[in-house]
């Protein structure tokens, strides 16, 4: 509990005790009034002040104003009748209890979320003169060697240069099985080292490391408002004044009608009281609070599962997804190619692979990484110059003074080099050295083990169509699509063609449905931002993808796509339940209040009750494990 909350609790207790005790103290009329007034001020002074400030700022109609008018009005009636002040105080007291509960619940769910996201490392260990020294991760430069001991968090992204261990990645990915890592493996910050001591050479600064990026995302996510949230603020803008004027009408019109047309006593007191009750009932707090809280909880629950959602608007769009478009390499396949064969080579196999690896030494494409692995030794980059990467085609570079081209048939056509077709199913990497065809390397990628199930899960959850777009050869693309049960495939696309395809699909999809694109950001960052919603593979994916995407899957698991959609639907379901429930009860109470069936006590009670139920319902969005 915060200091502010403790203070509030003390005020609530004092006021409640006074309110009860004063009933038993006989006092003279004015003394009695003064005692009640003090009690009233103890519990309500901040509301009065806020209402007054609101009036000064010309933002008159808010819940503070409603409470102030209602309770001051009730006090006035009590003075006039020398009657019961308890009502005004009780109303204020209930209202404050509601506020207290609400701030407590919000604080709690925020703390829950930040506890889930408790991944910020406090220090990094650096070895100096044989002793470990703890330094601020912010001060560690790229390329520094840091030591991560068992039980510690990996503070900065890097590559293991010594040691092996298993890592607990659950805070990042929601995956509970530990991941075994060895020398030369990449490690990302935020994982917990469980068994062995690791020496890690950092590859990023702390601010650019995974952990910082994630924290930034989560911290900023709640500031992007969704349509439902906008609806609430627009709603409140018209609602509150409408209610205030209705209350005024309720106070004035019936007595006038009674007096002028029905020749009955006006009963001003009764109608003013009803108008005040009407005001108390009308307070829309339950809605105003529970909707942002539901989104917040949904985003928190998703991040627990390794799904980072950058804003509540994306949660809303995601829930309406009808088309899911996939990139192939790195998204549905692992993006780790193995060399199957080398054909028509004019050079020795190993030599050809070496040239390929050298030309590819600066690329971050999965093909490039795989060729370098196949080559074995680390390429000596001083032998390469003039590297030019042509997206969706391949690479042109100068190696040992000779022009080398590495890429697909498009690249060969582009360079006017006659090439030999290949009959194997696989991604074909043609090579040309010094303008002469030098053979091709057949590489193949492995489909991610969960990919088939992931597509099936999407279909089961009502996705109308799955589409795969790839820059790879038609043969490979058709093979993968058939193996996975994808509805539609388009292959041999350049990055610009992918955008064109997505635009065509956007025009073709059902009007109210949304289109999601899932990619790793290599050659598809433009499509990620063009789609209604861009989902990026976070671990494998490039930084560009994580920037361009609206949702990031931390562990690259395609199963998480349907999970994210289900989380979003649950969350939106809760939002709509709360809107309907809170508005329904509200309208009912308003009608009963206007007819005089509900007194002020009951009104506040109903309001606080609705709010508590709505807030509890909102918190359900946090629990997504079993979805």
Determine contact, residues 172/555, Cβ cutoff 8 Å: yes
- Map the footprint of Mg ion across residues 179-208, applying CB under 5 A: none
**CB-based contact 384:423 (threshold 8 Å):** no
User: Looking at beta carbons only, is 64 or 329 nearer to Mg ion?
Assistant: 329
Listing DSSP states for 465-485 in one string gives EEEEE-SS-HHHHHHHHHHHT
The minimum distance between CB 377 and ligand ADP, in angstroms, equals 19
Strand partners, 309: 551
Residue with Cβ nearer Mg ion (102 or 329)? 329
**In whole angstroms, how close is the CB of 368 to ligand ADP at the nearest point?**
5
Which residues are CB-contacts of 555 (< 8 A; sequence separation ≥ 6)?
Answer: 169, 172, 173, 174, 175, 306, 538, 539
Closest-CB residue for ligand ADP? 471
Site track 507-546 with ligand ADP (rule: CB under 6 A), x = hit: ---------------xx-----------------------
> Least CB distance from residue 333 to Mg ion, whole Å?
9
Alpha helices, DSSP H, located in 509-535 = 525-530
Q: Is 614 one of the binding residues for ligand ADP (CB under 6 A)? A: no
Q: Segment 423-462, which members bind Mg ion (CB under 5 A)? A: none
Residue 407: contacted member of ligand ADP, Mg ion, none (CB under 5 to 8 Å, by partner type): ligand ADP
Distance CA 609, CA 606 (A): 5
384 contributes a contact to ligand ADP by CB under 6 A:
no
Is residue 408 a contact point for ligand ADP (CB under 6 A)?
yes
Distance of alpha carbon 214 from alpha carbon 538, whole angstroms:
10
Say whether residue 367 binds ligand ADP (CB under 6 A): yes
DSSP string, 419-431: -----SSSEEEEE
Q: Does 379 bind ligand ADP (CB under 6 A)?
A: no
CB of 482 to ligand ADP, least distance (A): 16
**Rounded-to-integer distance, Cα 462 and Cα 568, Å:** 14
Looking at the Cβ atoms of 87 and 327, the one nearer to Mg ion is 327
Q: Which of 157, 327, 550, 555 is catalytic?
A: 327
Answer for the pair 270, 595: CB distance below 8 angstroms, yes or no. Answer: no
Closest Cα to residue 117, out of 189, 198, 185, 186?
Answer: 189
Give yes or no for residue 370 binding Mg ion (CB under 5 A): no
Beta bridge partners of 126: 133, 146
**Which residues from 480-499 bind ligand ADP, rule CB under 6 A?**
none
Shorter beta-carbon distance to ligand ADP: residue 407 or 593: 407
**Count of CB atoms within 10 A of residue 529's CB?**
16
Partner from ligand ADP, Mg ion, none contacting 429, C-beta within 5 to 8 A by type: ligand ADP
Give the residue with the Cβ less far from ligand ADP, 284 or 471.
471
Q: Quote the least distance from Cβ 108 to Mg ion, whole Å.
A: 42
- Per CB under 6 A, does 472 bind ligand ADP? yes
Q: Which does 394 bind (CB under 5 to 8 A by kind): Mg ion, ligand ADP, none?
A: ligand ADP
Counting beta carbons within 10 angstroms of the beta carbon of residue 551, is it exposed (0 to 12), middle (13 to 18) or buried (19 or more)? Answer: buried
Which residue's CB is nearer to ligand ADP, number 113 or number 499?
A: 499
Q: Candidates 87, 152, 327, 607: give the one binding ligand ADP (CB under 6 A).
A: 327
Q: Cβ distance 172 to 214 under 8 Å? A: yes
> Minimum CB separation from Mg ion for residue 208, in Å?
22
Task: With beta carbons less than 8 A apart as the criterion, state whether 465 and 323 touch.
Answer: yes
Task: Give the nearest distance from C-beta 389 to ligand ADP in angstroms.
Answer: 6
Distance, C-alpha 544 to centroid of its chain:
18
Binders of ligand ADP: how many residues, by CB under 6 A?
23
CA–CA separation, 208 vs 212, rounded Å?
6
Coil, strand or helix at 48: helix
- For residue 219, count CB atoms less than 10 angstroms from its CB and return exposed for 0-12, middle for 13-18, buried for 19 or more: exposed
445 in catalytic set: no
Residue 361 binds ligand ADP, judged by CB under 6 A: no
The reply to whether 522 sits near Mg ion by the rule CB under 5 A is yes
Cβ proximity to Mg ion, 305 vs 360, nearer residue: 360
What count of other Cβ atoms lies within 10 Å of the Cβ of residue 62?
17
Out of 427, 466, 542, 562, the only residue in the binding site for ligand ADP (CB under 6 A) is 427
Nearer to Mg ion, 298 or 471 (CB): 471
From Mg ion, ligand ADP, none, interface partner of 368 (C-beta below 5 to 8 A by class): ligand ADP
Beta-carbon count within 10 A of 382 CB: 6
Q: At closest approach, how far in Å is the CB of 400 from ligand ADP?
A: 19
- Residues 152, 327, 360, 550: which binds Mg ion (CB under 5 A)? 327
For 87-191, strand residue ranges (E) read 124-128, 131-135, 145-148, 158-162, 165-168, 179-181, 186-187
Pick the stretch among 138-146, 275-283, 365-373, 553-561 that binds ligand ADP (CB under 6 A).
365-373
Residue placing its CB nearer to ligand ADP in the complex, 68 or 393 = 393
Question: Do residues 222 and 312 touch, judged by C-beta distance below 8 A?
Answer: yes
**Spatial separation of the C-alpha atoms in residues 136 and 613, rounded to whole Å:** 44
Which residues are at the interface with ligand ADP (CB under 6 A)? Answer: 327-329, 360, 363, 365, 367-368, 389, 392-395, 406-408, 427, 429, 470-472, 522-523
Which residues are at the interface with Mg ion (CB under 5 A)? Answer: 327, 329, 522
Q: List the catalytic residues.
A: 327
């Amino acid at each position: 509990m915060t200091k502010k909350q403790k203070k509030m609790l003390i005020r609530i207790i004092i006021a409640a005790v006074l309110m009860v005790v004063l009933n038993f103290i006989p006092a003279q009329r004015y003394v009695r009034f003064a005692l009640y007034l003090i009690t009233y001020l103890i519990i309500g002074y901040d509301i009065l002040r806020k209402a007054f400030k609101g009036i000064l700022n010309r933002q008159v109609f808010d819940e503070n104003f409603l409470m102030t008018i209602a309770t001051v009005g009730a006090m006035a009636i009590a003075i006039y009748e020398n009657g019961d002040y308890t009502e005004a105080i009780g109303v204020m007291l209930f209202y404050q209890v509601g506020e207290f509960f609400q701030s407590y619940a919000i604080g709690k769910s925020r703390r829950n979320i930040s506890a889930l996201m408790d991944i910020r490392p406090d220090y990094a260990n650096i070895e100096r003169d044989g002793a470990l020294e703890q330094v601020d991760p912010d001060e560690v430069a790229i390329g520094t060697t840091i030591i991560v001991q068992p039980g510690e968090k990996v503070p900065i992204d890097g590559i293991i240069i010594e040691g092996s261990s298993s890592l607990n990645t659950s805070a990042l990915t929601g995956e509970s099985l530990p991941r075994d890592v060895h020398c030369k493996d990449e490690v990302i910050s935020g994982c917990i080292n469980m068994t062995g001591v690791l020496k890690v050479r950092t590859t990023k600064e702390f601010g650019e490391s995974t952990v910082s990026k994630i924290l930034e995302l989560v911290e900023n996510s709640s500031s992007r408002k969704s349509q439902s949230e906008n609806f609430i603020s627009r709603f409140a803008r018209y609602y509150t004044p409408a209610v205030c004027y209705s209350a005024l009408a309720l106070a004035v019109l019936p007595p006038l009608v009674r007096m002028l047309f029905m020749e009955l006593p006006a009963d001003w007191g009764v109608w003013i009281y009803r108008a005040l009750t009407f005001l108390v009932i009308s307070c829309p707090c339950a809605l105003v609070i529970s909707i942002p809280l539901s989104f917040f909880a949904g985003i928190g629950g998703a991040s627990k599962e390794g799904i980072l959602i950058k804003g509540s608007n994306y949660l809303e769009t995601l829930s309406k997804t009808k088309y899911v478009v996939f990139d192939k390499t790195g998204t549905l396949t692992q993006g780790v190619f193995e060399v199957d064969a080398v054909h028509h080579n004019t050079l020795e196999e190993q030599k050809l692979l070496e040239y390929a690896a050298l030309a590819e030494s600066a690329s971050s494409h999965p093909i490039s990484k795989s060729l370098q692995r196949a080559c074995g030794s680390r390429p000596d980059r001083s032998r390469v110059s003039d590297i030019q990467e042509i997206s969706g085609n391949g690479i042109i570079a100068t190696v040992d003074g000779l022009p080398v081209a590495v890429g697909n048939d498009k690249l060969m056509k582009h360079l006017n080099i006659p090439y030999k077709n290949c009959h194997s199913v696989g991604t074909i990497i043609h090579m040309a050295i010094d303008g002469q065809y030098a053979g091709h390397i057949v590489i193949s990628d492995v489909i991610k083990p969960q990919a088939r199930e992931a597509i099936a899960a999407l279909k089961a959850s009502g996705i109308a169509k799955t589409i795969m777009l790839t820059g790879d050869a038609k043969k490979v693309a058709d093979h993968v699509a058939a193996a996975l049960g994808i509805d539609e495939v388009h292959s041999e696309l350049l990055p610009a063609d992918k955008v064109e395809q997505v635009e065509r699909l956007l025009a073709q999809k059902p009007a109210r449905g949304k289109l999601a694109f899932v990619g790793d950001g290599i050659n598809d960052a433009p499509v990620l931002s063009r789609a209604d919603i861009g989902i990026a593979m976070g671990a494998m994916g490039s930084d560009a993808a994580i920037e361009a995407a609206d949702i990031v899957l931390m562990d690259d698991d395609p199963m998480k796509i349907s999970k994210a959609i289900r989380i979003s639907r649950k969350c939106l379901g809760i939002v709509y339940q709360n809107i309907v429930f809170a508005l329904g009860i509200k309208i009912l109470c308003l009608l009963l209040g206007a007819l005089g069936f509900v007194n002020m006590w009951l009104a506040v009670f109903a309001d606080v009750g609705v709010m508590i139920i709505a807030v509890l319902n909102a918190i359900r969005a946090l629990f997504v494990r079993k979805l």
